[in-house]
């Protein structure tokens, strides 16, 4: 068996769009965009799966809004939808937060693989520092696109 060195390294990029809308009219009030890379812990899950280790499924299921200077988990939610495109090596995952279920100033967005409803569960996939403010009269949609590229 030969072990060939990969000539083109692979990079996983996360592009996040956060859209805040007026809950009554649906009118867009603010849009924030962030580009991010996947955490080492998340990349390690992919490596494990490639080597037939099934400790984690590899499925990103929970999104987490964090608050504070040393970001602490504030609210977590299951994703609303998830799909993929084989032709472009992209995965699309979205989360939706209603006006009533969460409000505040958020300082970090995270998502996890194999999370559960309880705080601190799941293997972290990504985290990005943000400055999002949402009131109880606004909805929040977070759309994430994960692209696997040869660098």
pLDDT score for 120: 92
pTM: 0.89
Helix/strand/coil for 45: helix
Q: Is the pLDDT of residue 148 over 90?
A: no
Confidence of residue 11 (pLDDT cuts 50, 70, 90): confident
C-alpha to C-alpha distance for 144 and 91, rounded to whole angstroms:
8
CA-nearest of 143, 36, 19, 145 to 84 is 145
For the residues 112-139, what does the mean pLDDT come to?
Answer: 95
C-alpha to C-alpha distance for 50 and 115, rounded to whole angstroms:
20
Cβ atoms 142, 18 nearer than 8 A: yes
Residue 36 C-alpha from the chain's centroid: 10
CA-nearest of 111, 135, 16 to 59 is 111
pLDDT score for 9: 73
Q: Is the pLDDT of residue 135 over 90?
A: yes
Q: Is the pLDDT of residue 1 over 60?
A: no
């Amino acid at each position: 068996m030969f072990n060939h060195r990969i000539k083109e390294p692979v990079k996983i990029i996360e592009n996040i769009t956060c859209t805040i809308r007026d809950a009554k009219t649906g009118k867009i009030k603010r849009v924030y965009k962030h580009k991010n890379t996947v955490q080492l812990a998340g990349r390690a899950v992919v490596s494990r799966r490639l080597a037939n280790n099934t400790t984690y499924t590899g499925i990103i299921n929970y999104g987490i809004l964090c608050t504070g200077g040393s970001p602490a988990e504030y609210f977590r939610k299951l994703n609303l939808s998830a799909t993929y495109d084989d032709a472009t090596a992209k995965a699309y995952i979205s989360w939706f937060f209603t006006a009533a279920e969460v409000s505040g100033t958020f300082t970090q967005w995270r998502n996890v693989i194999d999370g559960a409803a309880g705080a601190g569960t799941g293997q972290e996939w990504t985290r990005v520092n943000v400055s999002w403010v949402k009131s109880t009269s606004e909805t929040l949609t977070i759309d994430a696109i994960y692209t696997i590229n040869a660098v």
